[in-house]
């Protein structure tokens, strides 16, 4: 039995409205009563302050889906790390595959965002994962190691004490195709081994989430794997009953 407490995170992506945010959060807060896993929700930027008000005192923590690597300045359309803190975020996703592929975020930018998040007192959830072509070419662990190493080079391994890693194979995101528990476990163990080579204690403590078509069915077996410490949930995080069911099996 691992000493790491499970964490279930919901990435709402670009979905919702003011009223659906209130509705979903109310259902989550009511349904989570009595559960002991950690729960994080990441609504879109405009709803963060509202979500913070609803979540205060509930134990559910709040994260953003992205942040600027800059402290402040002439960066039209960007959101500073301190602003996220200011509206009640404790966490932020960094390097989600959609940011990497659709918005050209390089390993270097992701590393800079990771550092900027921690400098503002936010816990970064560092997302890593390979494409289908990379998996089929046998490059999975190499890609994930490169993405992780880019952050470790800049931030140092001890920064991982205040961070979460999320393994999200790109081919499993939004496709209904989940990695098998064995496939996911193998990569999670590989991530932990990379960290252990630098600092075994840090490696033993860091939570590594699995993401990619996580649904209530199948979540239990994923979460039973020794190196899977919870989930980063997309589509199913928008359906209160599904998200709650996933939290329940992580409990």
Ligand X SMILES: O=C(CO)COP(=O)(O)O
Binding region for ligand X (CB under 6 A): 11, 96, 168, 173-174, 211-214, 232-236
Nearest approach, Cβ of residue 113 and ligand X (Å): 15
Q: Is 15 a catalytic residue?
A: no
Query: From CA 43, how far away is CA 75, in angstroms rounded?
Result: 22
- Which single residue is written with the structure tokens 């402290």? 71
Q: What's the sign of the alpha-carbon dihedral 190, 191, 193, 194?
A: positive
Cα gap 159→113, rounded to integer Å: 13
Which residue's CB is nearer to ligand X, number 25 or number 170? 170
What string of DSSP letters covers 236-251? GGGSHHHHHHHHHHH-
Looking up tokens 């194979």, which residue turns up? 169
Q: Report the C-alpha gap between 147 and 169 in whole angstroms.
A: 13
Asked about 168 being catalytic, the answer comes back as yes
Q: Which is nearer to ligand X, 124 or 234 (CB)?
A: 234
CB of 176 to ligand X, least distance (A): 8
> Catalytic pick from 98, 105, 130, 168?
168
Chain residue at closest Cβ approach to ligand X: 234
Catalytic residue among 69, 96, 98, 130: 96
Instruction: Compute the least distance from the CB of residue 71 to ligand X, in Å.
Output: 26
CB nearer to ligand X: pick between 164 and 233:
233
Active-site amino acid positions: 96, 168
């Amino acid at each position: 039995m691992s000493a790491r407490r499970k964490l279930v995170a919901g990435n709402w992506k670009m979905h919702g409205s003011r009223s659906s945010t209130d509705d979903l959060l109310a259902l989550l807060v009511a349904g989570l009563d009595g559960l002991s896993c950690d729960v994080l929700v990441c609504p879109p930027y405009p709803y963060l302050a509202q979500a913070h008000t609803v979540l205060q005192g509930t134990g559910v923590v709040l994260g953003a889906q992205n942040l600027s690597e800059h402290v402040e300045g002439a960066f039209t359309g960007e959101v500073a790390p301190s602003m996220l803190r200011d509206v009640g975020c404790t966490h932020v996703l960094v390097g989600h595959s959609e940011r990497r592929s659709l918005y050209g975020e390089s390993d270097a930018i992701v590393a800079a965002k990771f550092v900027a998040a921690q400098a503002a007192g936010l816990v970064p959830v560092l997302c890593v994962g390979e494409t289908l072509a990379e998996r089929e070419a046998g490059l999975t662990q190499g890609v994930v190691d490169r993405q992780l190493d880019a952050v470790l080079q800049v931030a140092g391994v001890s920064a991982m004490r205040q961070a979460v890693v999320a393994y999200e194979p790109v081919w499993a995101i939004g496709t209904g195709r989940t990695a098998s528990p064995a496939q996911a476990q193998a990569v999670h163990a590989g991530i932990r081994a990379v960290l252990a080579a630098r600092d075994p204690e840090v490696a033993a403590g860091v939570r590594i989430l699995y993401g990619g078509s996580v649904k209530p069915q199948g979540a239990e077996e994923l979460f039973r794997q020794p190196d899977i410490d919870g989930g980063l949930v997309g589509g199913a995080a928008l359906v209160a009953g599904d998200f709650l069911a996933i939290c329940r099996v992580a409990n």
